[in-house]
Amino acid sequence: MEVIMKRWIVILICLFISGCAGLGDYSINLSGNYSLLRTSSHNITIAPKSKNGEGMWDENVIPAKVVEVGWNKDYIIAKQQAYPNEEYFYWILNVKDEYVEGPFILNDFQKKIKEYDITNLELKLVEDIQ
């Protein structure tokens, strides 16, 4: 009977731990005052850090779901998977001017990065940079 009870306790503990919100949440510092924020598997955004306190962010400048991101000191580029139709859109954030452009389709995005001479910026999968 004790063995069965111990197994149930272990199973319940595992269920509680895996069911807790926030275990997979994280933020990654990007250029300037911006961060990549993951608050759920489908809510990955880019937002500026808030001046109101540590660990707080202002309104998103690039909406969910960001699936790829690249940055240098001047620009942040992102690939977004839009729901519900699963289309992909691209964004360019000028860090210095705090100006966001997008959403772009791939062809227009490629023209813009050539125009801004940021073709050397590489988009990387979000899960590969955390």
Q: Confirm whether 101 is domain-assigned.
A: yes
Q: Total structural domains in the chain?
A: 1
Q: Per residue in 108-120, pLDDT tens?
A: 999 999 999 999 9
Which structural domain range is residue 84 located in?
23-125
Please check whether residue 12 lies inside any domain of the structure.
Answer: no
Tell me: the pLDDT tens digits for 57-95? 778 889 999 999 999 999 999 999 998 778 999 999 999
Residue 64 is assigned to a structural domain of this protein: yes
Torsion of Cα atoms, 84 then 108 then 35 then 37, to 10°? 10
What is the radius of gyration, based on Cα positions, of the chain? 19
Nearest CA to 36 among 130, 123, 107, 128?
A: 130
Residue 55, sorted as left (phi over 0), alpha (psi -120 to 50) or beta, turns out to be: left
Is 29 inside any structural domain?
yes
Residue 114 within any structural domain of the chain: yes
49, with CB counted inside 10 A (0-12, 13-18, 19+), is middle
Q: What is the pTM for the complete model shown?
A: 0.78
